[in-house]
Amino acid sequence: MATQRGGFSSRLGFILAAAGSAVGLGNIWKFPFEVGEGGGAAFVVMYLAFCFILCFPVMVAEIAIGRKTQRNAVGAFTALGHKKWSIIGYLGLTSGVLILSFYNVVAAWAFGYFIEMVMGNFEIGQHFGDFTADFIKVGAYSVIFMVGTAFVVSRGISGGIEKAAKILMPTLFVMILALIVYALTLPNAMEGLKFYLIPEFSEITGTVVYSALGQAFFSLSLGMGALITYGSYVNKNDNIVSSAAQITLVDVGVAVLAGFMIFPFVFSQGIETNGGPGLIFVTLPGVFESLGDVLGVIVGSLFFLLLSFAAFTSTISLLEVPTAYMVDEKKVDRTKATWIVALIIFAVGIPSLLSAGAVEALTKFITLPGPGTLDFLSFVALIASDTFLPLGGFLIAVFTAYIWRKENFNEEISHGDEEIKGTWLQSYVDFAISYICPVLLGAIFIVTVLDNYFGVKILNMLLG
């Protein structure tokens, strides 16, 4: 089965592909404004801590389940003899499909901005609403992005996903480092770094902790079956614990580097740091314009190309999850399965495409007690990302520790690393997957549901 399904040709290929899955818009688009709204360095400290305390053990568990079974996110639980728990896989599959349906739209915004920057249209930031409402233009960019994603996935694991990751990830790092070098030469760049690097621990509130937990989990693409699926293509002799650590390091590294790039840009123009998502799409084009016509085009184009690359590495992994399900469970040829799934997901994403101003009923889609009125895209994001992912992570931790059981889990992670047996690292991963992860992820899920769907501000209540 492993041979027919294909697999990664090298450990490096797996690490780059899995890191590419984790690295995305969450690192470069979402992370900086979460830092800005969370008080700067205090948020960064919490985020880094949760990535390793909470997310690393869940990542190891997902990869271990995938490698043990050599199956997709749904079939893996049946292969382990616990068919009823395949609901975790179906939850992840649903999450991945929904996330890709709107993620592809946001990726189209980034790609569209790259085109606008190349043409020197710095005014696009002042007309962000008009741009997103132009469903024909954004729809065309969305089609390009989905076709590119499907092409890579249809080529298989080593010939498509791994090959793309080996090109995209190093290129992404080169681009982000080049932008950092330039950003640090701007006026007041050091003030931006102070805000970013010197923690004010008085800023750490319950809300900041909750946001840091959620950002860490979303950033690492956990709970949606992507790493179970990628793990199923991993060689039995590979050290998955160290691989998970390296994937985590690459992901947080990109997020942290994004801050070194964004905040010097922001402080050089005296812009508010808590600008939300608009910090990228509304504010930065004006920053690039201030650099002059030629330099502004170069830096602006490079930035939004970087954002597009980061999105592309994630859309590939999101599409692989349902594709692998079709190949394994429905016995559909990979190429056929990829294009069928891509077409379905694009169709599912059309309401999200139209909800950014094109259709008023979708732009003001629903009013919830917590967030208020949401457009369709934001509503799907709330369900798939904020609600389903922590629930999926919670269930994976419970399954690994108490259903599959830790002795079987430990046996699997010892392949490729016999020396881990009896070490503090094994003890920590066991403890975290049994207690820390279920408690924290369960808490995130409960807070999200109570806050957003019922308007119960439980954090405010607990903190007086």
Would residue 454 count as lying in a domain? no
Lowest mean pLDDT among 33-42, 270-279, 398-407: 270-279
pLDDT digits (tens, 9 = 90+) for 221-258: 899 999 999 999 999 999 999 999 999 999 999 989 98
pLDDT, tens only, 85-107:
999 999 999 999 999 999 999 99
Percent of the chain, pLDDT > 70?
97
Residue 299 maps to a domain: yes
pLDDT at 282 over 90: no
The CATH number of whichever domain residue 298 belongs to comes to: 1.20.1740
User: Residue 463: its pLDDT value, please?
Assistant: 57
Encode 224-245 in three state secondary structure: CCHHHHHHCCCCCCCCHHHHHH
pLDDT at 276: 57
Which pLDDT belongs to residue 2?
Answer: 39
Structure tokens at 196: 């970013």
> Sign of the C-alpha dihedral, residues 387, 393, 397, 398?
positive
The pLDDT assigned to 209 comes to 85
Whether 48 is in a domain gets the answer: yes
Residue 187: count other Cβ atoms within 10 Å of its Cβ.
11
Cβ-proximal residues to 5 (8 Å cutoff; 6+ apart), any chain? 70, 157, 232, 233, 324, 327, 328
Range of the domain at 342: 2-358+405-428
Q: Say what the pLDDT of residue 275 is.
A: 58
pLDDT of residue 280: 83
- Determine the 3-state secondary structure of 368 from DSSP: strand
Average pLDDT, the chain: 91
Cβ pair 440, 398 in contact under 8 A: no
Q: Which residue has the tokens 């793309």?
A: 164
Q: Please choose, from the candidates 110, 144, 30, 103, the residue with its C-alpha nearest in 3D space to the C-alpha of residue 352.
A: 103
416 pLDDT more than 90: no
Beta pairing, strands 366-368 & 372-374:
antiparallel
Residue 433 belongs to a domain: no
| Residues 287-295, mean pLDDT to the nearest whole number | 89
Q: Which tens digits make up the pLDDT trace of 417-463?
A: 888 888 999 999 999 999 999 999 999 999 999 999 999 988 777 65
Q: Does residue 322 fall inside a structural domain?
A: yes
Dump strand ranges (E) for 84-198.
Answer: none
Answer yes or no: is 62 within a domain: yes
In a domain, 462, yes or no: no
pLDDT given at position 321: 96
pLDDT tens for residues 167-207? 999 999 999 999 999 999 999 999 999 989 898 888 778 78
Helix (H, G, I), strand (E, B) or coil at 222: coil
Dihedral angle at the C-alpha atoms of 182, 183, 187, 191, nearest 10 degrees? Answer: -140
Whether 108 shows a pLDDT value over 80: the answer reads yes
Query: What is the number of structural domains in the chain?
Result: 1
Task: Tell whether 368 is covered by a domain.
Answer: no
Helix, coil or strand: residue 372 = strand
What does pTM read for this prediction? 0.94
